[in-house]
Amino acid sequence: MSVTSRYREAWEAFWREAPREQGAVFWDAEPALTAGRHLALFEPHLTDPGLPVVDLGCGNGTQTRYLADRFRHVLGVDLSVAAVEHARYADPAGQAGYRALDAAEKSETEALHAELGDANVYMRGVLHQCEPDDRQPLVDGIATLVGTRGRVFLVELAEAAGAVLRSLAQGPAGPPAKLAPVFRHGIAPGEVADAAVPDHLRAAGLTVLASGELPLATTESGPDGARVELPSKWLVAGREG
């Protein structure tokens, strides 16, 4: 199964329009507030830190470059070719590799696993952006990449984040400047039930090894001037035995 052409084109249009500077996109928060916090939760569960790391849904590569400072082989992948171009532009030294990948397409994740072997996967806020029918195939693709030795760290917006986003979007002035393009391109965050995320992992043959809650930082400020943080749930999963 592959993602719909409408969904793919929505992301291409979003990233073609997005400014290239770091922090210009709603979710492009600095790594100290995102991947840095996540690694502290992820690393204790890695059975083999020497495995390649795949940053799935890498966008413009801000978190990928942070991961590349800490792991030997890091690859950022994204559905959008335009996003991959942003990531390469921001990484002229080539700290990490980047390529377009439809992770909901079985043949593509199988080919990448054949190339890399088992990998540790980092995915932040991708599942809730998917079309509902693509969510299980995406998690199945993650299970393919993880193989028998890898682990996945997955963080997704909690159900409670929906109320925060609706409040921002319905303010007197409309959505904030960095959130407006998300809605304009038809990729507004969808709501995924909190219980659905571990269910998707289990259906893919993965065992949830750890989970918790952590605010997900954005680059936008609310009416009070404070940074907008969205309620999120994180999970670490892999195959046991």
Strand partners, 99: 77
Q: Which amino acid would we find at residue 106?
A: K
Closest by Cα among 215, 209, 170 to 188: 170
The average pLDDT across 5-20 equals 91
pLDDT digits (tens, 9 = 90+) for 191-237: 788 899 999 999 999 999 999 999 999 999 887 888 999 999 999 99
Q: Whole-angstrom Cα distance, residue 113 to residue 111?
A: 5
* pLDDT classification of 123: cutoffs 50, 70, 90: very high
* pLDDT classification of 109: cutoffs 50, 70, 90: very high
Torsion angle in degrees (nearest 10) through CA of 28, 105, 150, 66: -20
pLDDT value for 226: 87
pLDDT digits (tens, 9 = 90+) for 21-80: 999 999 999 999 999 999 999 999 999 999 999 999 999 999 999 999 999 999 999 999
Closest by Cα among 86, 38, 44, 35 to 64: 35
- Asked if residue 1 has pLDDT above 60, the reply is no
Q: Find the helix or strand (DSSP H, E) in which 207 lies.
A: strand 207-213
Q: What's the whole-model pTM score?
A: 0.95
pLDDT value for 19: 93
- Asked if residue 2 has pLDDT above 80, the reply is no
Average pLDDT of the residues of the chain: 93
What backbone phi and psi angles, to 5 degrees, belong to 170? -100, 15
Helix (H, G, I), strand (E, B) or coil at 157: strand
pLDDT digits (tens, 9 = 90+) for 124-171: 999 988 888 899 999 999 999 999 999 999 999 998 888 888 888 787
